[in-house]
């Protein structure tokens, strides 16, 4: 009876499942009549499964499961549930949990079940606990004892069950409890037990390498186990060990090679064959280990040559045969190994052959593997890509999303300055189709990286960035936006003001256009506001009121976004002050007036302050405003005088009054025991401590109270410091803001206290700048060489030429073979002909893994990146590290730092008194103290500068009251706006020109402009060379797939 039902059921499932549910119903009925026997479960359980199977909707299923949970909760808590029943309940709990519901009420019963003597129940208990509990669950501690007991059992099945549980449940803390027993089990007579013990040790090794360090030799011994499955288990562990420490295992290379040889020669028992391939999984593991051992080691690699050839030969399918999945898996692994080790040309040839076969296959799986393999092969032999460009294009345009992404990965690896536009274009259009945040972030990061490394022009860079901001929005790190702003403020060349101002006005235009769109991500708005504020009125085409109107619109449209509002109000401030500086009367338009009024009453102190600043500016005279906010001052650097001589007087008087002299943090920690104990205890408090702490807390010792301060120093050391030693806070705030002069006093006082209380003290955080600046410094380092080598060349002209000739190349190809694919292929693969002349740089560019720094200096036409160019300045100081790591919040919070008291030469004990004086008559204060004039101006500018958000990222006012040059600069900028030169015009047109379209004219212009630019070309590939090449290729009429291999040898060489 039941076997009959069984058969029907199976049939029903095998024949289409469209009406599975109906069939299940009928079958279920049959089944319910004849259930018993080999189903091993009760009717109740079957009913549950059936009911869920019949559920017509998710809601119905939900209801059934909820009812089941209620039912189980009641039943499972009854006293004296029979064992068998209990076991069934547990299995039902597993079922419920599998369906995504919470069965945590039953975990404890599962744990209890593992204590059972009956193996049947014990195994169910272990199964349930391994499924229920993660290794950090509280109940684990209850199960350790059972596991310990079971590991000693003389029934190997019990030991196996316990070992399986060990692999899942034992965490770092409980490893010591079971480790000795597991190690003992390595000598167990049953190979199943040994195998599981090895796997358990492997797991321990992953969890806590330190507790396993004494067992490393064990793994070597296990490798010699007579049972193949134990040996293969050891390979898992050895793979991890080798990847952690290659050197320590070099001496095993020969053993691995000989094992692989034996396996490939079919020496293992037939039971390990898989589809007539000898132990493929073991072979793959061995190949992975060999890849690690042979990487960068000529000698070790040489030992592997013959065995690799053997393995490939044995798995290579006959002609026209695609080969089985498993042989191809081994072949793919061989490619990985060959490309990882220092292979000889024969092996590389074999790898290339297999890759070609994968790429040409019809199966999407093999194509995918082929693309991956191609990415590995071209890292060693770049010309190989050329042969397969059409396959790659096919994959890129395939409807299979996975394949498409994989191909984009490959292109990412192949990007160089000649094809960056095409590739980034592709990536952006792919990004348009994406919806999930993870993928978007990933691809946005890649686009940003590529554009930063290879951008042919600043124009293109800005446009691409705008697109990325638009598509990825807030997924883009804020730093990217700051880089973009910095690029704009620094401009392209060192002295090429005209190009800069052109760039800026085009940026202004593009942002004005963008702002018309309804929905924009916050980060793009921030950039737009900044650009409008800085350069909106610079070229004279836009009226200040228009720009201010736009900015007000932006702020109004985003009432919830304080950061955007902050950017907007600061931008308005700048525009107003530029107007004032230019001697024009400023009358705020009504909507701006109401916006400012709004902000004056804002809850955000930051916005409030910015609004007050604006008000103050409106009341200031033209001269002063011009000094405070010079036109186009954001690209300049501020010099910091870290000695702060103007504070000396104040420090002296403080010392005279009994304050302690300033000490370094290190010294301070050494000297002040009370403080150090506080610091250390607070630090240990912050450290994530997993275990319980058993030692008592230290009793706080009262530190020697210092000077006039009556504050218990050990408890509030920072506060105490700030009271007695204002110098310290000032030192840390070298750039801190004179804004205090301008804003209201009241809020500041309170904020000050808050800042000191909650923030990590500036004293301890500042001396060790955040880790990011290091990389920033490095980048700057490369910027120095860049700046040095590109002395005064008109760099924008170069990329133009570059692009045109490469796109011309594309055009030519297009003429010969009109297919769209050919063109794309040409632009991706063949476009590099222009680059050919450059020696190492392009090659380096192929290897995406290379650090950007390696490539940049030799790369032609790379604009000085936002970070570059500033490498010159020496006074690299406090503001900059911050800026490097500045996040959005940093910028906003900055004002909090600014609010700290600032002392200029006039300030005495009460800093605010002095400030009040300044606030009242700022101009008189400045002029009436001739000695302080220079200093106060300096303060004024540098300090103010840190208040607007902009200046955080590009703080740059000349620190030494160097005002005149600013005027020059301004006029230079104006000139640039008027006198437009041909090259720059072209630059402007650039973005509208796709490398693939409208190439005729461009080709002309490129050839006509090249002689002039060619002369100034000192770095990068020789222009003439590339032109010759270009002409030659035109003569020959080759296409990238055509019959001139030598050409492409060159291209990729």
Partner 1 sequence: MIHFVLLISRQGKVRLTKWYSPYTQKERTKVIRELSGMILSRGPKLCNFLEWRGLKVVYKRYASLYFCMCVDTDDNELETLEIIHHFVEILDRYFGNVCELDLIFNFHKAYYILDEVLIAGELQETSKKSVARVIAAQDTLIEHAKEQSSSLSNIIAQATK
Any contact of residue 22 with partner 1 (CB under 8 A)?
no
Toward partner 1, which CB reaches closer, 191 or 665? 191
- Member of 100, 583, 645, 979 binding partner 1 (CB under 8 A): 100
- Member of 3, 365, 648, 850 binding partner 1 (CB under 8 A): 365
Stretch that binds partner 1, among 39-47, 177-185, 468-476, 888-896 (CB under 8 A): 39-47
Any contact of residue 279 with partner 1 (CB under 8 A)?
yes
- Member of 167, 259, 465, 679 binding partner 1 (CB under 8 A): 167
Any contact of residue 325 with partner 1 (CB under 8 A)?
yes
- Member of 402, 657, 684, 1012 binding partner 1 (CB under 8 A): 402
Any contact of residue 688 with partner 1 (CB under 8 A)?
no
In angstroms, what is the minimal distance from the CB of 322 to partner 1?
12
Alpha-helical (H) ranges within 34-170 are 43-54, 58-76, 83-98, 107-114, 119-132, 140-151, 156-169
Which DSSP state fits 939? I
Segment 593 to 652, residues that bind partner 1, using CB under 8 A: none
Total residues contacting partner 1 by CB under 8 A comes to 81
Toward partner 1, which CB reaches closer, 136 or 910? 136
Segment 408 to 447, residues that bind partner 1, using CB under 8 A: 438, 442
| Cα→Cα distances 51→45, 48, 55, 56, 75, Å | 10, 5, 6, 10, 19
Stretch that binds partner 1, among 89-97, 410-418, 924-932, 1010-1018 (CB under 8 A): 89-97
- What is the C-alpha to C-alpha distance for residues 1024 and 1017, in angstroms, rounded to an integer? 10
In angstroms, what is the minimal distance from the CB of 524 to partner 1?
26
Residue 607 CA to its chain's centroid (Å): 31
Toward partner 1, which CB reaches closer, 308 or 629? 308
| Cα→Cα distances 306→258, 287, 311, 346, 376, Å | 11, 13, 9, 10, 21
Residues 6+ apart with CB under 8 A from 468: 428, 431, 444, 447, 448, 451, 476, 480
Q: Are 638 and 955 in contact (CB under 8 A)?
A: yes
Any contact of residue 364 with partner 1 (CB under 8 A)?
yes
Closest CA to 1013 of 834, 851, 854, 876: 834
The first and second tokens of residue 592, run together, are: 């701006």
Residue 888 CA to its chain's centroid (Å): 16
Stretch that binds partner 1, among 164-172, 731-739, 939-947, 1022-1030 (CB under 8 A): 164-172
- Sign of the dihedral defined by the CA atoms of residues 372, 377, 379, 385, in that order: negative
Q: Are 740 and 748 in contact (CB under 8 A)?
A: yes
Binding mask 332-361 for partner 1 (x = CB under 8 A): xx--x-------------------------
- What is the C-alpha to C-alpha distance for residues 1026 and 1038, in angstroms, rounded to an integer? 16
The backbone torsions φ and ψ at residue 278, rounded to the nearest 5 degrees and listed phi first, read: -70, 120
- What is the C-alpha to C-alpha distance for residues 18 and 33, in angstroms, rounded to an integer? 25
Any contact of residue 13 with partner 1 (CB under 8 A)?
yes
Any contact of residue 263 with partner 1 (CB under 8 A)?
no
- Tell the burial category of 433 from Cβ atoms under 10 Å away from its Cβ (0-12, 13-18, 19+): exposed
Segment 289 to 318, residues that bind partner 1, using CB under 8 A: none
Any contact of residue 36 with partner 1 (CB under 8 A)?
no
Which residues in 822-839 are b (16+ Cβ under 10 Å) and which e?
Answer: bbbbbbbbbbbbbbbbbe
Q: Are 783 and 867 in contact (CB under 8 A)?
A: yes
In angstroms, what is the minimal distance from the CB of 245 to partner 1?
18
Any contact of residue 326 with partner 1 (CB under 8 A)?
yes
Segment 200 to 229, residues that bind partner 1, using CB under 8 A: 200, 202-203, 228-229
In angstroms, what is the minimal distance from the CB of 203 to partner 1?
4
Any contact of residue 368 with partner 1 (CB under 8 A)?
yes
The first and second tokens of residue 224, run together, are: 């010699």
In angstroms, what is the minimal distance from the CB of 249 to partner 1?
19
Any contact of residue 747 with partner 1 (CB under 8 A)?
no
Any contact of residue 42 with partner 1 (CB under 8 A)?
no
Toward partner 1, which CB reaches closer, 41 or 843? 41
Any contact of residue 98 with partner 1 (CB under 8 A)?
yes
First to last CA, the chain: 75
- Member of 76, 341, 403, 631 binding partner 1 (CB under 8 A): 403
Closest CA to 527 of 500, 497, 542, 507: 507
Any contact of residue 912 with partner 1 (CB under 8 A)?
no
Q: Are 474 and 1002 in contact (CB under 8 A)?
A: no
Name the β-bridge partners of 274: 277
Could you identify the residue written with the tokens 């506080």?
678
- What is the C-alpha to C-alpha distance for residues 504 and 365, in angstroms, rounded to an integer? 48
- What is the C-alpha to C-alpha distance for residues 46 and 37, in angstroms, rounded to an integer? 13
Segment 228 to 247, residues that bind partner 1, using CB under 8 A: 228-229, 232-233, 236
In angstroms, what is the minimal distance from the CB of 1027 to partner 1?
42
In angstroms, what is the minimal distance from the CB of 273 to partner 1?
9
Stretch that binds partner 1, among 273-281, 419-427, 529-537, 556-564 (CB under 8 A): 273-281
Toward partner 1, which CB reaches closer, 39 or 912? 39
Segment 998 to 1017, residues that bind partner 1, using CB under 8 A: none
In angstroms, what is the minimal distance from the CB of 130 to partner 1?
8
Residues 6+ apart with CB under 8 A from 1041: 389, 390, 817, 822, 825
- Member of 125, 280, 726, 863 binding partner 1 (CB under 8 A): 280
Determine how β-strand 273-274 pairs with β-strand 277-278.
Answer: antiparallel
Toward partner 1, which CB reaches closer, 409 or 546? 409
Any contact of residue 328 with partner 1 (CB under 8 A)?
yes
Any contact of residue 453 with partner 1 (CB under 8 A)?
no
- Member of 64, 99, 246, 974 binding partner 1 (CB under 8 A): 99
Residue 842 CA to its chain's centroid (Å): 25
In angstroms, what is the minimal distance from the CB of 302 to partner 1?
25
Toward partner 1, which CB reaches closer, 326 or 974? 326
- Member of 164, 676, 905, 1009 binding partner 1 (CB under 8 A): 164
- Member of 388, 405, 627, 668 binding partner 1 (CB under 8 A): 405
- Member of 2, 30, 41, 852 binding partner 1 (CB under 8 A): 41
Toward partner 1, which CB reaches closer, 100 or 661? 100
- Tell the burial category of 1015 from Cβ atoms under 10 Å away from its Cβ (0-12, 13-18, 19+): exposed
In angstroms, what is the minimal distance from the CB of 149 to partner 1?
18
Any contact of residue 550 with partner 1 (CB under 8 A)?
no
The torsion defined by the Cα of 427, 428, 431 and 432, in degrees rounded to 10, comes to: -140
Count how many Cα atoms sit within 13 Å of the Cα of residue 89 in the half-sphere of its side chain. 25
- What is the C-alpha to C-alpha distance for residues 356 and 120, in angstroms, rounded to an integer? 53
In angstroms, what is the minimal distance from the CB of 986 to partner 1?
40
- Member of 30, 34, 39, 381 binding partner 1 (CB under 8 A): 39
Helix axes 228-244, 280-294, angle to 10 degrees: 20
Binding mask 44-63 for partner 1 (x = CB under 8 A): --x--x---x----------
Residues 6+ apart with CB under 8 A from 583: 622
Q: Are 992 and 800 in contact (CB under 8 A)?
A: no
Segment 104 to 163, residues that bind partner 1, using CB under 8 A: 118-120, 123-124, 127, 130-131, 134-136, 157, 160
Binding mask 65-84 for partner 1 (x = CB under 8 A): ------------------xx
Residue 153 CA to its chain's centroid (Å): 50
């Amino acid at each position: 009876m039941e076997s009959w039902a069984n058969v029907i059921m199976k049939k029903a499932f095998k024949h289409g499942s469209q009406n599975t549910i109906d069939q299940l119903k009928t079958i279920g009925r049959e089944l319910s009549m004849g259930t018993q026997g080999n189903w091993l479960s009760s009717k109740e359980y079957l009913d549950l499964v059936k009911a869920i199977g019949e559920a017509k909707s998710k809601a119905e299923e939900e209801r059934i499961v909820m009812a089941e949970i209620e039912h189980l909760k009641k039943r499972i808590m009854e006293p004296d549930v029979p064992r068998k029943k209990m076991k069934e309940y547990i299995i039902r709990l597993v079922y419920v949990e599998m369906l995504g519901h919470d069965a945590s009420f039953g975990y404890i019963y599962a744990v209890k079940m593992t204590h059972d003597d009956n193996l049947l129940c014990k195994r169910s208990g272990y199964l349930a606990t391994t499924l229920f509990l993660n290794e950090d669950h509280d109940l684990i501690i209850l199960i350790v004892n059972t596991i310990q007991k079971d590991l000693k059992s003389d029934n190997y099945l019990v030991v196996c069950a316990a070992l399986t549980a060990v692999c899942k449940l034992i965490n770092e803390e409980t490893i010591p409890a079971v480790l000795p027993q597991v190690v003992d089990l390595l000598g167990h007579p049953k190979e199943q037990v040994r195998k599981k013990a090895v796997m358990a040790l492997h797991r321990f090794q992953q969890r806590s390498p330190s507790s396993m360090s004494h067992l490393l030799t064990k793994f070597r011994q296990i490798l010699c186990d007579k049972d193949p499955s134990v040996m293969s288990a050891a390979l898992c562990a050895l793979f991890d060990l080798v990847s952690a420490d290659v050197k320590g295992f070099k001496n095993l290379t020969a053993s691995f090679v000989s094992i692989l040889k034996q396996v490939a020669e079919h020496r293992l028992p037939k039971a390990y064959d898989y589809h007539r391939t000898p132990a493929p999984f073991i072979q793959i593991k061995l190949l992975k280990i060999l890849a690690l051992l042979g990487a960068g080691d000529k000698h070790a690699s040489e030992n592997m040559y013959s065995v690799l050839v053997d393995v490939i030969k044995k798995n290579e399918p006959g002609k026209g045969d695609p080969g089985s999945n498993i042989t191809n898996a081994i072949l793919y692994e061989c490619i990985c190994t060959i490309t990882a080790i220092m292979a000889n040309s024969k092996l590389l040839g074999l790898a290339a052959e297999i890759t070609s076969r994968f790429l040409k296959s019809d199966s999407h799986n093999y194509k995918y593997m082929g693309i991956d393999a191609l990415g590995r092969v071209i890292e060693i032999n770049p010309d190989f890509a050329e042969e397969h460009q059409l396959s790659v294009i096919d994959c890129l345009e395939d409807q299979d999303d996975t394949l498409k992404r994989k191909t984009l990965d490959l292109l990412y690896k192949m990007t160089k300055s000649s094809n960056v536009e095409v590739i980034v274009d592709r990536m952006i259009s792919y990004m348009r189709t994406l919806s999930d945040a993870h993928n978007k972030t990933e691809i946005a990061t890649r686009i940003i990286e590529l554009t930063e490394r290879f951008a042919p022009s600043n124009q293109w860079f800005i446009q691409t960035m705008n697109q990325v901001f638009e598509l990825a929005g807030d997924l883009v790190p804020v730093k990217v936006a700051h880089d973009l702003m910095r690029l704009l403020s620094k401009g392209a060349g060192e002295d090429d003001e005209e190009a800069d101002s052109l760039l800026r006005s085009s940026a202004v235009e593009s942002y004005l256009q963008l702002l018309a769109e309804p929905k924009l991500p916050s980060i793009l708005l921030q950039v737009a506001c900044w650009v409008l504020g800085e350069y909106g009125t610079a070229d004279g085409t836009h009226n200040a009121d228009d720009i201010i109107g736009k900015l007000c619109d932006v702020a109004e449209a985003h009432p919830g976004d304080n950061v955007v509002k902050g950017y907007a109000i600061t931008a308005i401030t700048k525009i107003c002050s530029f107007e004032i500086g230019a001697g024009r009367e400023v009358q705020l338009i009504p909507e701006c007036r109401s916006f400012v009024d709004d902000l004056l009453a804002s809850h955000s102190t930051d916005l409030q302050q910015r609004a007050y600043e604006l008000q103050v500016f409106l009341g200031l005279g033209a001269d002063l405003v011009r000094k405070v906010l010079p036109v186009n001052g954001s690209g300049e650097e501020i010099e910091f005088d870290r000695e702060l001589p103007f504070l000396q007087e104040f420090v002296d008087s403080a010392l005279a009054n009994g304050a302690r002299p300033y000490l370094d943090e290190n010294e301070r920690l050494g000297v002040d025991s009370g403080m150090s104990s506080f610091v250390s205890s607070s630090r240990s408090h912050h450290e994530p401590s997993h275990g319980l702490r058993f030692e008592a807390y230290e009793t706080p010792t009262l530190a020697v109270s210092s000077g006039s301060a009556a504050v218990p120093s050990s408890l509030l050391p920072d506060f105490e410091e700030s009271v007695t030693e204002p110098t310290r806070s000032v030192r840390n705030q070298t750039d801190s803001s004179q804004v205090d002069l301008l804003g209201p006093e009241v809020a500041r006082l309170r904020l000050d206290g808050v800042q000191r209380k909650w923030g990590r003290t500036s004293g301890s955080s500042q001396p060790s700048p955040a880790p990011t600046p290091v990389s920033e410094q490095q980048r700057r380092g490369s910027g120095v060489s860049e700046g040095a080598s590109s002395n005064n060349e008109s760099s924008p002209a170069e990329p133009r030429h570059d692009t045109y000739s490469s796109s011309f190349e594309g055009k030519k190809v297009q003429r010969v073979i009109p297919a769209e694919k050919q063109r794309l292929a040409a632009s991706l693969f063949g476009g590099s002909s222009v680059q050919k002349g450059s020696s190492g740089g392009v090659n380096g560019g192929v290897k995406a893994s290379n650090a950007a720094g390696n490539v940049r200096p030799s790369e032609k036409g790379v604009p000085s990146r936002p970070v570059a160019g500033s490498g010159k300045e020496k006074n690299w100081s406090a503001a900059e590290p911050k800026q490097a790591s500045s996040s959005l919040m940093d910028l906003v919070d900055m004002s909090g730092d600014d609010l700290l008291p600032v002392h200029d030469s006039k300030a005495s004990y009460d800093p605010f008194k002095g400030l009040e004086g300044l606030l009242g008559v700022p101009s008189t204060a400045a002029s009436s103290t001739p000695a302080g004039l220079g200093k106060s101006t300096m303060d004024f500018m540098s300090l103010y500068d840190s208040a607007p958000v902009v200046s955080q990222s590009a703080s740059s006012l000349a620190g030494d009251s160097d005002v005149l040059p600013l005027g020059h600069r301004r006029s230079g900028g104006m000139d640039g706006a008027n006198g437009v030169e041909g090259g720059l015009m072209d630059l402007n047109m650039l973005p509208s020109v796709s490398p693939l379209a409208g190439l005729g004219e461009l080709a002309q212009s490129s050839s006509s402009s090249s002689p002039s630019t060619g002369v100034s070309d000192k770095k990068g590939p020789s222009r003439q060379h590339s032109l010759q090449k270009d002409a030659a290729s035109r003569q020959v009429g080759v296409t990238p797939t055509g019959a001139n291999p030598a050409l492409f040898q060159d291209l990729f060489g």
